[in-house]
A and B are shown apart, each in its own frame.
Chain A
Amino acid sequence: MLKYLLKRFLWMIPLLIGISLISFFIMHLAPGDITTSEASFNPKASEESRQKLRELYSLDKPIIVQYGLWLKRIATLDFGTSFASHQRPVFWQTKDKDGNITLGMIQEALPITLLINVLSLILIIGIALPLGVISALKQNQLADRGITLFVFIGFAIPGFWLALMLMYWTGVQHAWLPISGLQSIGHENMGWIAQTLDTLKHLVLPVFISGLTGLAGISLFARNGMLEVLHQDYITTARSKGLSENRVIYGHALRNALLPLITIFGLSIPGLIGGSVIAESIFAIPGMGKLFYDAVLMRDFPVIMGILTIGAVLTLIGNLLADVAYAWADPRVRRGVMQ
């Protein structure tokens, strides 16, 4: 097992280099760089000054040289500083000689996005699993049809539209929930209980909206997994042994039906760090989606590469974790891995 893990880890290095190389070249295929953003089309900014900026950012060098410079920095885990955001560190905070700390961009955005995505993942599992199981047990009955309709409406409804409607209803018509942002204005002066409550109130709508679209996938997955298992021989065996129906369903069927979900969760790990641009813009949440989108628009190469690299590492780790968890949960797979 240990040897297997080591092998998988070592394989990640060439994979990462390949991913970063392709990302780097594709990024540079798009026309323009930091000096061609819309704000720079200003008669006061001369072409010579823009050329000078390109030199200061090494953008005048051949792409392969730029990639070499980037790789050299990344080898020491230095993600560099942003072009667009006054040289803010891309990943983690830095301290200058006077002791001023500048927080990293990913360092600030990532916890917010993670919190929202983890909460909505919990919400999705908490709702989708029971829904899926009920659908399977009541296959083709009214409850099954109703649930399928409901999750498909949730999947098909435009998130931004529903978000605005809910903001209007819960924020303007009734002052139940805050409309946008992460914290109220007087947040600093509150006690910690009030602060937590305040943050949670701000998170209700964003979490609900991002969870709603995910319901359909997971609940249908659970439904189909459950249906498949219910037709297996060992369920018939369990029933013929005279076990109670609850025991058959929750003790035997559900546990086996949930196995494929491990893969799904493994695959959703990289998704956890990617926020939704639309939801983050509407709710004014400074998360990863908005960070990446703005970086692409500004051609802020260090930020784009930073997010892509971290995303790639997490994807690979997610895959590995999923495989390991699968092997742990399913003896059949485990035996295959060991050989």
Chain B
Amino acid sequence: MLINHHQHRSTTLALITLCVILTSACGDSTSNKANAIDYTKTYPASNGGTLINAMMGEPSGLIAMIAGESAASAIAGNIFNSLLKYDKNLELSGELAQSWDISDDHKTITFHLKPDLKWADNQPLTSEDVLFTWQKVTDENTRTPYGSDYKLVIKAETPDINTFRVTYAAPYAPALETWASLHILPKHLLKDQDINTTAFARNPIGSHYYKLEKWKNGQYLKLTRNINATQGQAKIDHLMSRIIPDKAAQFLELSADNIDSMGLNPIQYARIFPARPDLNKNIALYKELGNSYTYMGFNLKRKPFDDIRVRQAINYAINKQEIIDGVLLGLGEPVASPYKPGTRWSNPELKPYAYDPAKAKALLKEAGYEDHDGDGILDKDGKPFSFEILTNQNKEREMTGVLIQRRLKEIGIDANIRVLEWASFLGRFIKPKEFDVVVLGWSLSLDPDQYSIWHSSQQAAGQFNFISYSNSQVDKLLEAGRLELDPDKRMKIYHEFSKILLEDSPIVYLSAGYGLTAIHKRVKGISNPAPPAGIGHNTYEWYIPKAYVRTEMSEN
């Protein structure tokens, strides 16, 4: 009985402990030791330190052409170089290449590599490596989905160790862009390897600022400064990426000063941070336009979306600012073309369709839609105007759909929302074109060529013009844009293209969200406000002053 009594007491104790945990966890007092340091002082740039960031997914490998996912490109981008890169204004400039010439017939591009390039293992990096990489990406046995752009090259040659020349069958303006996204791989380490299975993917040697020091599966990747880097020396010694799949857990790690940087969601940025002065003291917030936009696309093969008046009416009926405010908590911008605002390809004269329900109703009336039977829903030939908005499991897209549904209802259109898992969404609805309207996203591409999305020849199952957009004028402009290598002439072509696209309204541009980043104030040298390329354009210039380096980390 004595034992029982004792155990009885311990259960009560457990109950009490639980209650204490539950109530005190909601309290607001923090006893964070790091709060004592003032991180707002300025120090001259210095070397050293470790920058720890959190990422949601683990890369599958670090050969970007095979891995393909964003986590892989994010890490591999610190390890490998391409021939070209985008500078902070998103203009192409040389990375491994010092300069490049385009032949008079616009079919041949000659890249001149910078002299004395080196791999991290101190071996010379030459045009042979570039040729080798091209051979790999176009090899039939390489498991990459990105080979098609490079297969347009009919001849690749290396006249000398610093020159790489490619010849295309026809002028291909997006070609330069493709050489900015192909990471050059070392021939001397990979020539006897099967690129699909090589251990190199998990233990790579590159030529950029950093090299991989340690990869703990499922836990973190640690990069160390590459002392043989020929693009200049980064200031921060180590970059560490911890894999933390849950955003809330990442946020707790940031609050406890265990990580320095993470991507925020709009709620964390716009609701939690303003309410927490203790966090703002140590952590700086950055916002920059992201690389994608959300749109509502019509199935142009289905009635009544083949009628431009109906498409424009729906465009006028949707309040884009409401979507930005409601879904993105104001952290986004409306767009009027598929290009990033502020870059050369974005036509500054274009303005999104204003929210104008009266105009929408007038256009619909013109198209024959009126409420004849008085049930509140427009109808034509006895059929009510009703359709389905299809989207995939993505909270922001679902919320966007609900706001659209409500505005459409106000002008008498009955819209239902259907949410699907990605693979069935794609396989059962998009590929066979079994949909009325979709809410989806496209990227705001850096190269203006969007032939695969808008050209009328790209409508087969599995191709990207699944809304079946077909406009001969747009086709001509897209074809011309691929042949024109002069940036200014090319810009005019795409400004014209975006103008027609906006008028035609095959899709309704809804919003482009900001990328939101929190970085601890111990990291200095970050450009704010961010240039078009984002705050990450000069990470090699970021530094952590000696006084701010974490004390618990042993530097080696």
Query: Using a CB–CB distance below 8 Å, which chain A residues touch chain B?
Result: 30-33, 35-50, 52-53, 56, 81, 84-88, 96, 98, 100, 102-103, 108-109, 130-131, 134, 137-138, 143, 146-147, 150, 153, 164-169, 171-175, 178-183, 185-186, 189, 245, 280-286, 290, 299
A169 to B18, CA, bound (A): 12
Chain B residue numbers with a CB within 8 Å of A167 are: 249, 252
Chain B residue numbers with a CB within 8 Å of A48 are: 148
- Expressed in whole angstroms, the minimum distance between the Cβ of B471 and any Cβ of chain A is 18
Q: Are A175 and B11 in contact (CB under 8 A)?
A: no
Q: Are B249 and A32 in contact (CB under 8 A)?
A: no
Q: Are A108 and B217 in contact (CB under 8 A)?
A: yes
- Given A39-B70, A137-B4, A167-B249, A286 and B218 touching (CB < 8 A)? yes
Pick from A36, A109, A245: contact of B422, CB under 8 Å:
A36
Chain B residue numbers with a CB within 8 Å of A134 are: 4, 7-8, 11
A96 to B245, CA, bound (A): 31
A11 to B12, CA, bound (A): 49
Flag whether B244 is at the interface (Cβ < 8 A). Answer: yes
Q: Are B60 and A32 in contact (CB under 8 A)?
A: no
A45 to B24, CA, bound (A): 51
Q: Count of chain B residues with Cβ under 8 Å from any Cβ of A?
A: 84
A7 to B29, CA, bound (A): 64
Q: Are A39 and B422 in contact (CB under 8 A)?
A: no
Pick from B63, B202, B240, B453: contact of A102, CB under 8 Å:
B202
Chain B residue numbers with a CB within 8 Å of A102 are: 199, 202
Pick from A150, A168, A180, A280: contact of B25, CB under 8 Å:
A168
- Expressed in whole angstroms, the minimum distance between the Cβ of B260 and any Cβ of chain A is 12
Q: Are B427 and A36 in contact (CB under 8 A)?
A: yes
Q: Are B68 and A40 in contact (CB under 8 A)?
A: yes
A30 to B427, CA, bound (A): 10
Q: Are A282 and B219 in contact (CB under 8 A)?
A: no
Flag whether B464 is at the interface (Cβ < 8 A). Answer: yes
Q: Are B218 and A172 in contact (CB under 8 A)?
A: no
Residue of B nearest to A165 (CB): B25
Flag whether B553 is at the interface (Cβ < 8 A). Answer: yes
- Expressed in whole angstroms, the minimum distance between the Cβ of B396 and any Cβ of chain A is 14
Q: Are B243 and A49 in contact (CB under 8 A)?
A: no
- Expressed in whole angstroms, the minimum distance between the Cβ of A194 and any Cβ of chain B is 13
Q: Produce 1/0 per residue, B252-264, CB < 8 A to A.
A: 1101101000000
Q: Are B554 and A189 in contact (CB under 8 A)?
A: yes
Chain B residue numbers with a CB within 8 Å of A183 are: 216, 219
Closest 5 CB pairs of A and B: A286-B218, A32-B423, A86-B61, A45-B145, A100-B199
Q: Are A98 and B199 in contact (CB under 8 A)?
A: yes
Q: Are A86 and B219 in contact (CB under 8 A)?
A: no
Flag whether B428 is at the interface (Cβ < 8 A). Answer: yes
Residue of B nearest to A294 (CB): B57
Interface centre among A87, A284, A290 (most CB of B within 10 A): A284
Flag whether B141 is at the interface (Cβ < 8 A). Answer: yes
- Given A32-B426, A43-B452, A46-B148, A283 and B249 touching (CB < 8 A)? yes
Q: Are A109 and B199 in contact (CB under 8 A)?
A: no
A333 to B423, CA, bound (A): 50
Chain B residue numbers with a CB within 8 Å of A84 are: 60
- Given A146-B11, A180-B249, A185-B52, A49 and B148 touching (CB < 8 A)? yes
- Given A50-B145, A299-B423, A86 and B249 touching (CB < 8 A)? no
Flag whether B201 is at the interface (Cβ < 8 A). Answer: yes
Q: Are B252 and A164 in contact (CB under 8 A)?
A: yes
Pick from B11, B61, B242, B245: contact of A290, CB under 8 Å:
B245
- Given A49-B147, A146-B12, A150-B11, A85 and B18 touching (CB < 8 A)? no
Pick from B33, B146, B147, B554: contact of A186, CB under 8 Å:
B554
- Given A86-B63, A180-B244, A40 and B25 touching (CB < 8 A)? no
A6 to B37, CA, bound (A): 69
Q: Are A53 and B148 in contact (CB under 8 A)?
A: no
A40 to B244, CA, bound (A): 23
- Given A39-B69, A172-B32, A31 and B427 touching (CB < 8 A)? yes
Q: Produce 1/0 per residue, B460-493, CB < 8 A to A.
A: 1111100000000000000000000000000000
A273 to B196, CA, bound (A): 30
Pick from B148, B245, B464: contact of A284, CB under 8 Å:
B245
- Given A165-B21, A181-B244, A281-B246, A86 and B201 touching (CB < 8 A)? yes
**In the complex, which residues 435-479 of chain B have their Cβ closer than 8 Å to any Cβ of chain A?**
443, 445, 450, 452-453, 460-464
Q: Are B240 and A30 in contact (CB under 8 A)?
A: no
- Expressed in whole angstroms, the minimum distance between the Cβ of B181 and any Cβ of chain A is 8
Flag whether B375 is at the interface (Cβ < 8 A). Answer: no
- Expressed in whole angstroms, the minimum distance between the Cβ of A287 and any Cβ of chain B is 8
Chain B residue numbers with a CB within 8 Å of A182 are: 219
- Given A39-B68, A86-B201, A164 and B249 touching (CB < 8 A)? yes
Chain A residue numbers with a CB within 8 Å of B12 are: 146
- Given A32-B424, A173-B30, A56 and B143 touching (CB < 8 A)? yes
Chain A residue numbers with a CB within 8 Å of B32 are: 172, 175
